[in-house]
Amino acid sequence: MTTSPEVRFDLDLGEGFDFTDPGLLAGGLPVEQFARVRRTSPVWWNAQDPDNGGGFRDGGFWVISKHAHIREISRDPDAWSSNLNGCVMRYANDMPAEQLEAAKILMHNSDPPLHTRLRKLISRLFTPRSVATLEEGLTTTAREIVTAAAEKSEGDFVVDVAHKLPLKAIADLVGFPRTTMSGYSIGRTSSWLPKTPTASRIPCWR
């Protein structure tokens, strides 16, 4: 893939364009830009100002927009790493390097063989039988979450609604008491990290 003519650096989406820019995403998903990248430059380098890279100072990241390429990357942990820079695409611009390093302890920021071993342990908790036993409690929790959010005059959908139910499900699966989970949140990612000095983060948009 790295020698394919589909690898591009020169696509111009405008000065300073950044798929991870919170200001861009506040206006909605950049559907038109995604479509253009997929159509003309399915492997595209999104350059970033090192001082505005969401805590990363490696100059940018690769945008991968074709399923076949994403599959290739996901099956080649020797060339592409989730551990090198972690899987979260953006933090605060002033995120200290030591905090980025500390995040590598999380399972989704690990590579095989460690990731394989951890995944086997965790997958035992997510059998159909285990998940079925949670249905009644999660249904009740879902109603409580929506009711509480509806009673507020304003709020943050992610904080007030979106992250609470999956967090409760995970807590129940691993046996955490509900009272200990209020200070935790769940991160989301769709990225893979290449082990190269000039291309150290890759969001895989499908």
Three-state DSSP class for residue 198? coil
172 against 180, higher pLDDT? 172
Three-state DSSP class for residue 63? strand
The answer to whether residue 2 sits within a structural domain is: no
Three-state DSSP class for residue 61? strand
Task: Tell me: do 103 and 135 sit in the same domain.
Answer: no
Task: Tell me: do 22 and 66 sit in the same domain.
Answer: yes
Task: Tell me: do 166 and 198 sit in the same domain.
Answer: no
Q: Provide the residue range defining the domain that includes 39.
A: 7-107+189-203
Using one digit for the tens of pLDDT, what is the confidence trace for 181-199?
555 554 433 333 334 434 3
Residues 61 and 47 sit within 8 Å (Cβ to Cβ) = no
Using one digit for the tens of pLDDT, what is the confidence trace for 65-123?
999 999 999 899 888 888 988 888 899 999 998 988 988 888 889 999 999 999 998 88
Count of CB atoms situated within 10 Å of the CB of 199: 18
Task: Tell me: do 65 and 94 sit in the same domain.
Answer: yes
- Number of domains composing the chain: 2
Task: Tell me: do 33 and 98 sit in the same domain.
Answer: yes
pLDDT attached to residue 110: 92
